[in-house]
Structure 1
């Protein structure tokens, strides 16, 4: 079992790095400058992901009357922006991949600092859990190594060796696609007992509602073309599992109830976001024919 877990963790690392490397290979410095030229777009993304969606997670958890473990999982998930699946959803929906990847990296970097403070404040205000204390420096290092560095390497390659970047991009995208499927299967296989145990409860539905509402909020609180706006919606819908899992281990001692609820919320969130991205992809494919 330990060997399988190590293998799954290794594949997850490859998926995150390959996704961000592929996004960097497909980006250009002028495109990035255009995205961040005005402060409105990044500020709206920060507002949606660092303020509105954490409060939404609190509200959904309270609305559904979730038990303590599921309530904690919802708050941890909602407070953790910048999941690498966001860049993947931009690819799936044929959206603005450069804007999605750049925004996702920004959110992951800022969110690694704000996550502990946000989750602790909400859990304290709600009177749930014992509060959390996270190693912020470790979270920042994790984000830098797995997300910022591969994206930067891909971007530099595209800038200084564009022909090489174009030739590498298909292979990097294939690795991202294959490992994405493996990670999805692994999450289901590794946590199926916990997820099955929650069938019939309100936790799966709450996670589904949170992701769908986050997609809508991210789309509304965005600027630019429809493709860019829905890309921001996908980035908002998919939260960053890393800090949430770290909190479950550090603050709650890997309590099985919290881990099971966390897996259920993350998987139900993907179940909400992926069909939306697939529908958008089909519509855009039809528009180009």
Structure 2
């Protein structure tokens, strides 16, 4: 079991790194500068992901009267922006991949700092637990190594050696796609008992509704073309599991019930976001650019 766990972690690392590397290979410095110079887009994305969506998670958890473990899991997930699956959803929907990857990395970096205070405030206000204290430096380092560095390397290759970047880009995307499927399968197989146990508790439905609502909010609270706005919706809909998992270990002693609920919320969120991205992709095939 330990060997399988290590293998799954290795594949997850490869998925994250190649996804961000592939996004960097497909980006340009001028396009990236244009995104970060778009103050309305940045401010709206920060407002949506750092404030409104965490409050949305609290509201949905209360609306569905979730049991304690699922309530905590949903609040932790909602408080943690910048999940690497967000960049992948930009690719799946044939969206603005450069904007999606750049915003996802930015949110992951900022979220590694804001996650602890945000989760603490929500858990305390909801009387669902408190005392979330995380190693911010370790979280920032993880984001830098797994997401920022591969993206920057791909971006530099695209800038200085365009032919090499164009040659490597298809291979990076293929590796990203294959490892993405393996990670999804591993999450399902590794947590199916916990997921089945939560079927009657509305936890899966709450995670599903949360992801759809976050997708909608991320789309509405964005500027630019429809393609860019829906890409921001995909980034908003899937959250960063790393800080949430760290919080379960530090603040809740790796309680199996909370870990299982966390996996259920994350998977049900992906189950909601992926079909939306796939539908958007189908509508965009052959359509004139916006």
TM-score, length-scaled by structure 2 = 0.98
Q: Which runs of 5+ in 1 are unaligned?
A: none
- Match for residue 146 of structure 1? 146
- Match for residue 27 of structure 1? 27
The 8 Å contact of residues 157 and 165 in structure 1, kept in 2 or not, is answered as yes
Cα distance in structure 1, aligned partners of 2:38 and 2:197: 47
Cα distance in structure 1, aligned partners of 2:259 and 2:94: 33
4+ residue runs of structure 1 moved beyond 2 angstroms?
Answer: none
- Match for residue 256 of structure 1? 256
1:286 Cα deviation after fit: 4.3
1:185 correspondence with 2:185: yes
- Match for residue 4 of structure 1? 4
SS of residue in 2 equivalent to 1:176:
helix
1:37 Cα deviation after fit: 1.6
- Match for residue 176 of structure 1? 176
Cα distance in structure 1, aligned partners of 2:191 and 2:124: 28
The 8 Å contact of residues 70 and 262 in structure 2, kept in 1 or not, is answered as yes
Q: Deviations over 1:157-201 (max 9, x none)?
A: 100001100000000000000000000000000000000111122
Q: Deviations over 1:141-168 (max 9, x none)?
A: 0000000000000001100001100000
1:19 Cα deviation after fit: 0.2
Cα distance in structure 1, aligned partners of 2:38 and 2:74: 33
Cα distance in structure 2, aligned partners of 1:130 and 1:84: 27
The 8 Å contact of residues 41 and 223 in structure 2, kept in 1 or not, is answered as yes
SS of residue in 2 equivalent to 1:66:
coil
Cα distance in structure 1, aligned partners of 2:183 and 2:272: 17
- Match for residue 47 of structure 1? 47
1:288 Cα deviation after fit: 5.1
- Match for residue 279 of structure 1? 279
- Match for residue 126 of structure 2? 126
The 8 Å contact of residues 68 and 129 in structure 1, kept in 2 or not, is answered as no
1:39 Cα deviation after fit: 1.2
The RMSD of aligned alpha carbons is: 1.0
Cα distance in structure 1, aligned partners of 2:132 and 2:100: 30
Cα distance in structure 1, aligned partners of 2:214 and 2:38: 23
Cα distance in structure 2, aligned partners of 1:147 and 1:218: 21
Q: Deviations over 1:41-82 (max 9, x none)?
A: 111101000000000000000111111110100000000000
1:14-163 alignment, distance < 5 Å: 14-163=14-163
Aligned residues: 289
- Match for residue 269 of structure 2? 269
The 8 Å contact of residues 67 and 201 in structure 2, kept in 1 or not, is answered as no
TM-score, length-scaled by structure 1 = 0.99
1:250 Cα deviation after fit: 1.2
Q: Which runs of 5+ in 2 are unaligned?
A: none
Cα distance in structure 1, aligned partners of 2:14 and 2:252: 28
Q: Deviations over 1:61-118 (max 9, x none)?
A: 0111111110100000000000000000000000000000000000000000000110
- Match for residue 208 of structure 2? 208
Cα distance in structure 2, aligned partners of 1:142 and 1:32: 22
1:40 Cα deviation after fit: 1.1
1:38 Cα deviation after fit: 2.6
